[in-house]
Chain A
Amino acid sequence: MSLALIGVIAVALAFDFVNGFHDAANSIATVVSTRVLSPRMAVAWAAFFNFAAFLIFGTKVATTIAKGVVIPDSISLGVVFAGLIGAIGWSLITFYLGLPTSSSHALVGGIAGAAVAKAGWHVLESDGLRKIGVFIVLSPLIGLALGMIFTVTIMWTFHRVRNVERLNRGFRTGQLVSAAAFSLGHGANDAQKTMGVILAVLIAEHEVPKTSGVPLWVVLSAHLAIGLGTLTGGWRIVKTMGTKITKLQPAGGVAAESAAAVTLFFTSAQGIPVSTTHTITGAIVGVGASRRLSAVRWGVAGRVVWAWILTIPGAFLIAAATYGVVAVFN
């Protein structure tokens, strides 16, 4: 294995680490805001289930990223490096501008941009990109519908209960399970994107055959990186999705996290990379909208739509420009 290959794998794992660091707030915000767990315990809880996801889910999402975005023959060390720089660069710009970014979409845009800069538009896998594009829009909409359906179901089931305090205690315990489920879904979908990038570059460098699945060491290192990212930084950036979009009670937290988890379980099992941030945002909006539309801060939801529109082209352009620079030095 060459030094350059090791360097690119390290950048991919760093991307995964930052993803865990950044997205941990999504998994633990409601658990922390309802004081079910302390921030440190919540982060440890989320990190454990991020890592444990490798035991449950396959690697279909990784295969989609490795072989379904661009023609595998167009992938090289330079393409993957430029793609990762495109994704990281776009994430930093949106962080600075305060836009809710999606690292998943940025990664897809980055790899596509670098590959197009190398070999032209024909390298794009239209079937794979269409599937990803459709679910960019669908996953928050599924999360929103499920969030609302779960909330209404909970309200119907428990509307005769008089002891609200006891009911809330029950839902606080339930949040441990729903937060764990969401962290499993987050680990499964997001860690696999990094696995896909590493698999693509291993195939390009002839370290594994084209028909190879994801090697176990790649699976373990990707889950370890996202878990460590969650463990290291998550609690510092808990800006609580739960209070930014709508104020959540424990029952709402259970509904939102369960709705997002179901969406992520489905998409991960089907090999579809989606944004975990946009999925939980949709689910939280669904919980808020079950009370009334004005309970939702639509400005935040609107910024998610802007992120849909801008992320892939933004990361695409940065990655294409980066590949131009890489090609000069090659």
Chain B
Amino acid sequence: MDRRAGVFLVFAAMCLLLVPVTDDEFRWVPVTTAIAYILLAAASLLDARSRKRSS
């Protein structure tokens, strides 16, 4: 697997771990950040795949 995507998934997991300890008022912040990292991981995977194909 693409290393960068792996790192982003770790960051997403860290954000999700923070959700239960975050105040209700701010719970959307770690959730949104985790979603952003999952999307970035997906984009990174696609980027790595297209680089592999073109090389």
Least CB distance, B43 to chain A, in whole angstroms: 8
B3, CB-defined interface residue at 8 Å: yes
Size class of the contact patch on chain A? 10 to 19
B21 contact set on A, CB distance < 8 A: 130, 133-134
Give the chain A neighbours of B4 by CB distance below 8 A.
Answer: 289, 292-293
A interface residue numbers (CB < 8 A to B): 127, 130-131, 133-134, 137-138, 141-142, 144-145, 148-149, 152, 270, 272, 289, 292-293
12 more CB-based (< 8 A) A-B contacts, given A130-B22, A137-B18, A148-B40: A127-B23, A131-B22, A134-B18, A134-B26, A137-B14, A141-B15, A141-B33, A145-B33, A149-B36, A149-B40, A152-B43, A272-B26
**Is B7's CB under 8 angstroms from A138's CB?**
no
Contact with A along B11-35 (1 / 0, CB 8 A): 1001100100111001001100100
User: Which secondary structure dominates where chain B touches chain A?
Assistant: helix
Contact residue range for chain B? 10 to 19
Tell whether, in the assembled complex, residue A293 and residue B7 are in contact, meaning their CB atoms are under 8 Å apart.
yes
Asked whether, in the complex, the Cβ of B29 is within 8 Å of the Cβ of A145, the reply is no
Smallest CB gap from A146: residue in B = B36
Whether the Cβ atoms of A134 and B7 lie closer than 8 Å is: no
Main SS at interface, chain A = helix
Nearest B residue (CB) for A270: B26
Chain B residues, CB < 8 A from A133? 21
CA distance A137 to B29 in the complex (A): 12
28 contacts between A and B (CB under 8 A): A127-B23, A130-B22, A130-B23, A131-B22, A131-B23, A134-B18, A134-B21, A134-B26, A137-B14, A137-B18, A138-B15, A138-B29, A138-B30, A138-B33, A141-B14, A141-B15, A141-B33, A141-B37, A145-B33, A145-B36, A145-B40, A148-B40, A149-B40, A152-B43, A272-B26, A289-B4, A289-B7, A293-B7
- A145 contact set on B, CB distance < 8 A: 11, 33, 36-37, 40
Shortest beta-carbon distance, B18 to chain A, in Å?
5
- Chain B residues with CB below 8 A from A292, complex form: 4
Q: Which residues of the other chain, B, contact A270 by a CB distance below 8 angstroms?
A: 26
Residue of A nearest to B17 (CB): A137
Please indicate the chain A residues that have their CB under 8 angstroms from the CB of B22 in the complex: 130-131, 134
Q: How far is the CA of A131 from the CA of B14 in the complex (A)?
A: 16
